[in-house]
Amino acid sequence: MNLKQLIIVLVAGIFFSQASYSQYLENDPKPSQRIFYGGNFGMSFGSVNYIEVSPLVGYRITDRLSAGIGLSYTYVGSKQYDYNGHCYGGSAFASFSVIKNFANIIPLNINAGLLIYGENILLNVANYYHSSDIKWVNTPLLGGAIQIPVSHRSYLMLMVLYNFNETIYSQYSNPVIKISFNF
C-alpha cells in the first residue's frame, strides 16, 4: 500500500466511522473489560524481504489514560545481499486522551480522538546488524496519535512520534509513523 492509498483509507475511516464512539469506560466497567489487545504487523517482499510482528496488551486505567506492554520481532532477508537479520525485544507504552471525540468540538461528524502517546522500546539488534558490539538499543518515542473507532471496543491508531535516541543502530528514524489496531 502506498502513501496515497494509506491516506485515503485513514480519511475515509475518520469520516465514515460509526457514531458510537467508545464511551464504555465511563460506565464503570469490570477490570477485565479494561484490558485491550492489538499491535502492529507489517511485511514487504521483493529484493529485500521484511516481516514485523509486534503484539501488545494494555489496560485502560481511566477513560483517558491507558498503559501496557508489547513484544517486537523483525526479520529482514535478502538473497541479493546474502543477508538474514533478526531483531527482537519489548516495549512499555502509555497514552492520554486529550480530545476524546472531535465530534463533540467540531460539528462535522468526525468520530476520532487525539492522544498524547509515549513508548519506550528495548531491542536486541546484534543479529540484525551482524554486530557483536551492540546488543540492546533503547528507543524512547513520544508524540501524538489520532484514534479512530472501528466498533464499540476496537480502534485504529495513527501515530506520529519522535525518536529521542536516533542512532545508526536504531530501527526507527524520525519522524516515526506507526499504525496500530487494538480491540
Contact 104, 113 (CB under 8 A): no
| Sequence-separated (6 or more) residues with CB below 8 Å from residue 10 | 146, 148, 156, 158
For residues 8 and 109, what is the distance between their CA atoms, to the nearest angstrom?
17
pLDDT of residue 153: 75
Domain residue spans of the chain: 3-182
Average pLDDT over residues 94-108: 83
pLDDT of residue 14: 42
pLDDT band of residue 2 (cuts 50, 70, 90) is: low
pLDDT of 161 over the 80 cut? yes
Which of 40-49, 98-107, 124-133, 137-146 has the weakest average pLDDT? 124-133
pLDDT of residue 22: 41
For residues 89 and 74, what is the distance between their CA atoms, to the nearest angstrom?
9
Average pLDDT over residues 56-63: 92
Instruction: Kindly report the CATH class assigned to 3-182.
Output: mainly beta
DSSP class per residue in 130-176: T-SS--EEEEEEEEEEEEEESSSS-EEEEEEEEETT--TT-S-PSSE
pLDDT of 145 over the 90 cut? yes
For residues 25 and 166, what is the distance between their CA atoms, to the nearest angstrom?
36
Mean pLDDT, all residues of the chain: 80
pLDDT band of residue 29 (cuts 50, 70, 90) is: confident
pLDDT band of residue 59 (cuts 50, 70, 90) is: very high
